[in-house]
């Protein structure tokens, strides 16, 4: 029997069982509670508080279903009970617009972010992770009841969730700004951003967007009875759904795999730890010396036993001298032909010289008429000072690419730039409130200096110029990217962080004891987030420039270390001015304003500021000034040479015959002939429209002077050393002398002319222009010297024989003298009696050869170390203000020049395949154009690409998304409706459907693209493309299709010529690879890089080839001409060519010693030195070949004495 009912023992057991079962129960279902619902009370402006509410979730009205599905699809289930109403959903959407525009390009990143805000705003389980800590009373006028507005709460967030969200978003790019998106959304530099301070910034009331304080608390474990929100997240390498791929490589580094690595630098070629070329040339030279002196010693011993010296009489008992000329009775065909050619030249010039002396007046008159006709071309003369025309050939690749860029996008803007220092100012120290380490500020960043710099900036803005009776101001010519909506000029200046306003610069918040925020605070924020419209301090001032674009700190500050912009020691201020393609009137207005800009800064005086500056026209102006100053240098040189010629040509017999024996008038005539030949050359080519260049003005007068004076001395001194034969008349004597020396002059002049004219085959404008003018000038100089000068020489000798005074030829001297006496110059006596015999001694010749081979070996060893390029400061006058600017630019430059990767017209952007080839976002090819430039920026130290490219197409895709409020149209007219417009008739461009969320293609792509490019950025839509991309897209066919486009980035800092050359070379390699991987190599369009400096540095990519080609052509032509004009003396021509080649190689050795780089200017001088070398070598060589002396040494002595002394006058 069981226990009776109601027994105490049985009842106690039942209670125990029930209690035990309760303990074992796994889940206790608690009701879902909210912490708020609805909005009540105005926080500030249009920002509102949320109403405190601690009841269960409330069913969302049906008119909020679309918003819930759009924003928080994870909460759209069941009866859609939430802790938010429709108004709160709309506020959430508005607040998410800016993050949406920058982060939605990586769907998983934005999914995590919106999850964070959806749980905060609408989760039915808010009470699990939200804790209200402060409220204020609020009376609801509609419900007529008292309520509470939440002013502060705690948001408990799982650390795992926070870190996962940050990791998914940290690599997302902001294409229009060339920076990471978190750099614009984190409130600080991207390198200082992490999961906690990013979320703290988004929830901070100080960011200007959050209406009340939300304090995030990070923990994965429960804290104070609160369960942190730790929802599942998506990694950036994970797909959101079947229709959406993972984030692109550009926005997610783990998708890319390992970071690209630059190829290793080529190992230097070393032997025994030294430069291999040095070692090889040293060993070769030592080997040469050993073999050469062994042979010399062997020959010397052999001659001691079997031969006599060439300087002693031949003994009858000894066979013959090694230097004696043996006649074997056979004459070769070449010798016969050479003899006939030599006799023909001699007879021709003999007859011609006699004719000129007999008929001086007609010859001189004809010469003057010829000179006048040639010089009449001066009315068409044009001088080229445009650096592009000076250094870049019209047919060059860089020049064609520049023309393409200028035609399709407009020319690159003109740059007016100042570098400002504050030498008398001291660094400032800022102490943040309420705590924090002291922050140093550089001397130019003190408030007093910034006010003075702002005054200077305002004064520059107010500069006026006059052109064609019109007043020109900066606003008329400046770059205003948002015009006509915003006509403010682009001014890249640190003052634009303060809206170029003294009052904003002085803006401060504080009390009588502390300063909570001032310009220091604002500056520190703006250099981290230059595109911000509201800083996080109490100031809430914008950082965005007044022109509508960001001012990046590396463009406006200099002299700082790493990214510590506050340590800047210089300010950089840049005024971009519009350039004009084929619009000379507008260009002249810009030039007029730049002239006033330069004059203003030259006269500006502020003892607290040191200013270095340059305008776009500065280099051209200074080249013009230098050209004008060089005219004086040329005239002084000619005057000095005239005085020297007058003294050196005249051989004064006595003081009383000074004015008779002097050659002042002949010297004047010789100098005028040289000048006339240069003038004729300029006049002839001016007829054909070929402009002068700086090199023609500076170099050719000296070149022709050297050659012309050399020929004058040869003619006159040969005549002075000659004795008139019995019964010989003056005309026959001068004709005979000219017959002796003119073939040598013809040989050298013709060799030089041919060599120079062949130099026009060069693609380098400087070399080609120099070669044209130099070749013609040398040819005309020779013609005038064997015609006009010979006639003038005959007249001068007649004057001297008649004892008439020089210059005053009508006056006759009382000092009678029977004819002109034979005379020899001091230099001729030195060569004949000392230099030639000493140089040609048996023991001296091997030493001379050894020394010169040594110099040749040294030059060959260092030739590969000659640098390539041209320091632009070398083209400026030493006293130029631009020199100081160049110096400061190299010291304070922190940003490289912009580079544009241009995709030529022909690409199809409206197809998915065509888009994937170019873009860098979700679904784009891993080897797309944008992605490859991005990869290059990852190894910028090698590729010299500094940043990810700004991509109009990626920003366009973000802008046009239906989730964004950017792309809207009026439903009545279909016209574009800006995001800042509040009008119920404005509707989304594309439906919020799965199809509408896809990229626009076909007709849709072209419908909305012009709207994107006309949209100005604003707080509700920062993706408007007007400011960043207005010129990046070239429309064709009446805006029905996209033509050429560009994607801009920046080079790394480039300081030396080798940096610029390497940057251009690497950019072209990248562009060629993009063209190949896009599969458009065989089509009619391609990708090419363009930067403003490419036209100047392209020549250096091929300058080694050009130098070898030009010098080889010159040497080859010299060899051929010398062979023919020396009467087919092949070995003599070989000796001349080898000697000139040695001179050229030795010139490279001198260039290395003196630190002269190989460039167009030095190449011109090398070509010129080749011509001058011909002048010295050919005269002596021909004198040797026609000498009748018995031995080679005697012939060499005679040639060196007679021709060497005249050539070296």
pLDDT given at position 423: 92
Element (H, E) at 847: helix 844-862
pLDDT given at position 176: 62
Is the pLDDT score of 244 beyond 80?
no
What mean pLDDT is predicted for residues 77-95? 88
Q: pLDDT by residue (tens digit) across 548-557?
A: 888 889 889 9
Is the pLDDT score of 821 beyond 90?
no
pLDDT given at position 653: 58
Half-sphere exposure of 296 (CA within 13 A, CB side): 15
**Rounded CA separation 827/196 (Å):** 89
Q: Are 670 and 641 in contact (CB under 8 A)?
A: no
pLDDT tier for residue 699 given thresholds of 50, 70 and 90 = confident
Average the pLDDT over each of 64-78, 192-206, 781-795, 1170-1184 and give the range with the smallest value: 1170-1184
Distances in whole angstroms, Cα of residue 848 to Cα of each of 296, 366, 855, 1005, 1139 = 13, 48, 11, 79, 13
* Best-predicted range by mean pLDDT (362-371, 611-620, 1174-1183): 362-371
DSSP conformation letters of 259-319:
PP-PPPPPPP-EETTEEHHHHHHHHHHHHHHHHHHHHHHHHHHHHHHH---TTSPPPTTS-
Is the pLDDT score of 651 beyond 70?
no
pLDDT given at position 507: 92
Mean pLDDT for all residues in the chain: 84
Full-model pTM: 0.81
What mean pLDDT is predicted for residues 379-392? 81
Is the pLDDT score of 1127 beyond 90?
no
Is the pLDDT score of 839 beyond 50?
yes
**Rounded CA separation 1023/1027 (Å):** 10
pLDDT given at position 654: 53
Is the pLDDT score of 530 beyond 90?
no
What mean pLDDT is predicted for residues 529-553? 82
Is the pLDDT score of 58 beyond 80?
yes
pLDDT tier for residue 24 given thresholds of 50, 70 and 90 = very low
What mean pLDDT is predicted for residues 948-963? 88
**Rounded CA separation 319/323 (Å):** 12
What mean pLDDT is predicted for residues 63-89? 88
pLDDT given at position 25: 42
- Of 923 and 642, the structure prediction assigns the larger pLDDT to 923
Q: pLDDT by residue (tens digit) across 455-481?
A: 999 999 999 999 988 999 999 999 888
Helix or strand or coil: residue 977? coil
pLDDT given at position 15: 38
Looking at residue 165, the DSSP 8-state letter turns out to be: H
What mean pLDDT is predicted for residues 1106-1122? 87
Is the pLDDT score of 656 beyond 80?
no
pLDDT given at position 335: 67
> Following CA atoms 854, 858, 860, 866 in sequence, which dihedral angle do they give, to the nearest 10 degrees?
-160
**1146, two tokens:** 């030795």
> Following CA atoms 863, 869, 870, 872 in sequence, which dihedral angle do they give, to the nearest 10 degrees?
-160
* Residues 6+ away with beta carbon under 8 Å from 875: 619, 623, 626, 694
Rounded to 10 deg, the angle between the 694-721 and 664-687 helix axes is 140
Looking at residue 968, the DSSP 8-state letter turns out to be: E
Tell me the pairing of strands 428-430 and 439-441.
antiparallel
**516, two tokens:** 């909570």
Helix, strand and coil in the chain, % to nearest 5: 55, 10, 35
pLDDT given at position 373: 94
Is the pLDDT score of 876 beyond 90?
no
Is the pLDDT score of 802 beyond 80?
no
pLDDT tier for residue 191 given thresholds of 50, 70 and 90 = confident
pLDDT tier for residue 970 given thresholds of 50, 70 and 90 = very high
**506, two tokens:** 């002085």
Is the pLDDT score of 1174 beyond 70?
yes
Is the pLDDT score of 1 beyond 60?
no
DSSP conformation letters of 192-259:
G--HHHHHHHHH-GGGSS-SSEEEEEE-SS-BTTB--B------TTS-SBTTB-PPPTTT-HHHH-SP
Distances in whole angstroms, Cα of residue 255 to Cα of each of 162, 174, 833, 1077, 1162 = 20, 18, 86, 20, 51
Looking at residue 470, the DSSP 8-state letter turns out to be: E
What mean pLDDT is predicted for residues 168-195? 79
**Rounded CA separation 781/1041 (Å):** 61
Tokens 């060439």 belong to residue = 310
> Following CA atoms 47, 48, 54, 60 in sequence, which dihedral angle do they give, to the nearest 10 degrees?
-80
Distances in whole angstroms, Cα of residue 859 to Cα of each of 187, 388, 1142 = 59, 33, 9
Is the pLDDT score of 1032 beyond 80?
yes
Q: Are 223 and 217 in contact (CB under 8 A)?
A: yes
**30, two tokens:** 């608690």
What mean pLDDT is predicted for residues 669-682? 90
pLDDT tier for residue 917 given thresholds of 50, 70 and 90 = very high
pLDDT given at position 658: 61
- Of 1132 and 805, the structure prediction assigns the larger pLDDT to 1132
Is the pLDDT score of 1128 beyond 80?
no
970 strand-pairing partners = 986
What mean pLDDT is predicted for residues 351-362? 92
């Amino acid at each position: 029997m069981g226990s009776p009912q109601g027994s105490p023992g049985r009842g106690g057991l039942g209670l125990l069982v029930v209690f035990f079962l309760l303990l074992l129960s796994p889940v206790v279902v608690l009701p879902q509670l909210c912490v708020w619902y609805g909005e009540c009370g105005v926080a500030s402006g249009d920002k509102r508080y949320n109403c405190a509410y601690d009841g269960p979730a409330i069913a969302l009205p049906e008119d909020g279903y679309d918003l819930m599905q759009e924003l928080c699809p994870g909460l759209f289930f069941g009866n859609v009970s939430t802790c938010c109403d429709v108004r709160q959903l709309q506020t959430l959407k508005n607040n998410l617009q800016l993050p949406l525009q920058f982060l939605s390009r990586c769907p998983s990143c934005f999914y995590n972010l919106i999850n964070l805000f959806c749980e905060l705003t609408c989760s039915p389980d808010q009470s699990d992770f939200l804790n209200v800590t402060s409220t204020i009373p609020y009376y609801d006028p509609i419900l007529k009841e008292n309520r509470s507005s939440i002013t502060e709460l705690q948001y408990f967030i799982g650390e795992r969730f926070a870190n996962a969200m940050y990791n998914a978003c940290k690599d997302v790019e902001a294409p229009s700004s060339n920076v990471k998106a978190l750099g614009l959304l984190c409130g600080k530099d991207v390198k200082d951003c992490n999961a906690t301070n990013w979320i703290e910034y988004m929830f901070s009331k100080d960011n200007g967007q959050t209406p009340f304080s939300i304090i995030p608390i990070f923990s994965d474990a429960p804290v104070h009875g609160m369960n942190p929100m730790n929802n599942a997240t998506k990694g950036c390498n994970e797909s959101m759904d079947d229709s959406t791929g993972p984030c692109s490589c550009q926005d997610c580094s783990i998708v890319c795999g390992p970071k690209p690595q630059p190829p290793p630098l080529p190992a230097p070629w070393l032997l025994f730890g030294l430069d291999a070329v040095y070692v090889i040339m040293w060993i070769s030279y030592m080997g040469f010396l050993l073999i050469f002196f062994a042979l010399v010693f062997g020959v010397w011993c052999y001659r001691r036993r079997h031969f006599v010296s060439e300087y002693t009489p031949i003994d009858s008992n000894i066979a013959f001298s090694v230097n004696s000329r043996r006649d074997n009775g056979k004459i070769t065909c070449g010798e016969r032909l050479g003899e006939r050619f030599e006799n023909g030249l001699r007879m021709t010039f003999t007859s011609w010289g006699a004719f000129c002396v007999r008929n001086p007046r007609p010859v001189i008159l004809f010469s003057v008429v010829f000179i006048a006709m040639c010089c009449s071309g001066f009315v068409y003369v044009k001088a080229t000072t445009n650096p592009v025309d000076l250094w870049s050939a019209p047919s060059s690749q860089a020049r064609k690419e520049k023309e393409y860029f200028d035609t399709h996008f407009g020319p690159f803007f003109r740059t007016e730039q100042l570098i400002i220092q504050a030498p008398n100012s001291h660094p400032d120290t800022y102490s943040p409130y309420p705590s924090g380490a002291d922050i140093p500020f550089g001397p130019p960043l003190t408030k007093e200096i910034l006010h003075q710099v702002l005054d200077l900036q305002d004064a520059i803005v107010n500069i006026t110029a006059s052109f064609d009776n019109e007043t020109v101001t900066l606003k008329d010519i400046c770059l205003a990217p948002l015009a006509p909506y915003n006509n403010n000029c682009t001014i890249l200046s640190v003052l634009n962080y303060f809206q170029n306003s003294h009052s904003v610069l002085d803006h401060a918040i504080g009390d009588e004891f502390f300063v909570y925020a001032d310009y220091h605070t604002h500056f520190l924020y703006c250099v981290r987030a230059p595109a911000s419209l509201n800083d996080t301090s109490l100031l809430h001032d914008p950082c965005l420039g007044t022109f509508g674009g960001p001012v990046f700190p590396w463009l406006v500050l200099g002299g700082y270390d790493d990214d510590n912009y506050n340590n800047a020691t210089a300010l950089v201020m840049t005024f971009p001015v519009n350039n004009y393609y084929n619009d000379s009137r507008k260009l002249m207005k810009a030039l007029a304003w730049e002239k006033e800009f330069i004059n203003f800064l030259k006269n500006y005086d502020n003892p607290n500021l040191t200013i270095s500056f340059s305008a776009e026209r500065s280099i051209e102006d200074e080249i013009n000034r230098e050209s004008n100053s060089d005219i004086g240098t040329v005239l002084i040189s000619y005057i000095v040479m005239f005085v020297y010629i007058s003294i050196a040509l005249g051989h004064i017999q006595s003081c009383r015959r000074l004015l008779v024996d002097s050659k002042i008038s002949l010297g004047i005539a010789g100098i005028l002939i040289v000048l006339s030949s240069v003038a004729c050359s300029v006049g002839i080519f001016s007829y054909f429209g070929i402009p002068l260049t700086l090199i023609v003005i500076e170099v050719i007068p000296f070149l022709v002077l050297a050659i012309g004076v050399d020929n004058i001395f040869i003619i006159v001194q040969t005549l002075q050393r000659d004795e008139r034969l019995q019964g010989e008349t003056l005309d026959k004597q001068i004709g005979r002398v000219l017959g002796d020396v003119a073939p040598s002059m013809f040989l050298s002049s013709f060799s030089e002319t041919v060599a120079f004219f062949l130099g026009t085959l060069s693609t380098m404008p400087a070399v080609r222009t120099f070669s044209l003018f130099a070749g013609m000038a040398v040819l005309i100089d020779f013609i005038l010297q064997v015609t006009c000068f010979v006639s003038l020489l005959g007249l001068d000798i007649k004057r001297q024989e008649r004892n008439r005074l020089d210059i005053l030829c009508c006056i006759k001297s009382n000092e009678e003298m029977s004819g002109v006496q034979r005379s020899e110059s001091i230099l001729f006596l030195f060569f004949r009696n000392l230099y030639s015999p000493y140089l040609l001694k048996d023991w001296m010749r091997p030493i001379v050869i050894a020394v010169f081979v040594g110099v040749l070996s040294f030059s060959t060893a260092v030739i590969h170390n000659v640098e390539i390029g041209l320091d632009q400061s070398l083209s400026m006058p030493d006293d130029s203000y631009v020199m100081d600017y160049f110096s400061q630019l190299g010291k304070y430059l922190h940003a490289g020049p912009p580079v544009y990767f241009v995709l030529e017209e022909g690409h199809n952007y409206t197809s998915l395949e065509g888009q994937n080839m170019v873009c860098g976002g979700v679904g784009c090819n891993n080897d797309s154009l944008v992605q490859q430039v991005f990869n290059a920026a990852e190894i910028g130290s090698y590729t010299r690409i500094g940043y990810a490219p700004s991509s109009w197409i990626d920003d366009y895709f973000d802008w046009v998304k239906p989730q964004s409020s950017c792309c809207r149209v009026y439903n009545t007219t279909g016209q574009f409706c800006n995001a800042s417009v509040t009008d119920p008739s404005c509707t989304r461009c594309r439906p919020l459907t799965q199809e509408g969320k896809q990229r626009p293609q076909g007709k849709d792509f072209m419908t909305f693209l012009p709207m994107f490019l006309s949209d100005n950025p604003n707080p509700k839509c920062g993706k408007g493309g007007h400011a960043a991309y207005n010129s990046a897209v070239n429309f064709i066919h009446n805006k029905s299709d996209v033509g050429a486009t560009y994607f801009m980035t920046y080079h790394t800092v480039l300081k030396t010529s080798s940096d610029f050359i390497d940057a251009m070379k690497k950019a072209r390699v990248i562009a060629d690879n993009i063209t190949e991987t896009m599969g458009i190599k065989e089509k009619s369009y391609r990708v090419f890089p363009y930067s403003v400096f490419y036209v100047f540095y392209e020549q250096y990519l091929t300058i080694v080839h050009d130098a070898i080609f030009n010098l080889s052509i010159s040497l080859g032509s010299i060899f051929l001409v010398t062979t023919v004009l020396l009467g087919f003396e092949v070995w003599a021509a070989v000796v001349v060519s080898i000697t000139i080649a040695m001179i050229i190689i030795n010139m490279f050795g001198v260039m290395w010693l003196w630190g002269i780089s190989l460039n167009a200017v030095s190449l011109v001088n090398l070509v010129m030195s080749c011509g001058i070398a011909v002048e010295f070598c050919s005269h002596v060589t021909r004198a040797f070949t026609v000498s009748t002396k018995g031995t080679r040494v005697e012939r060499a002595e005679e040639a060196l004495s007679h021709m060497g002394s005249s050539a070296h006058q």
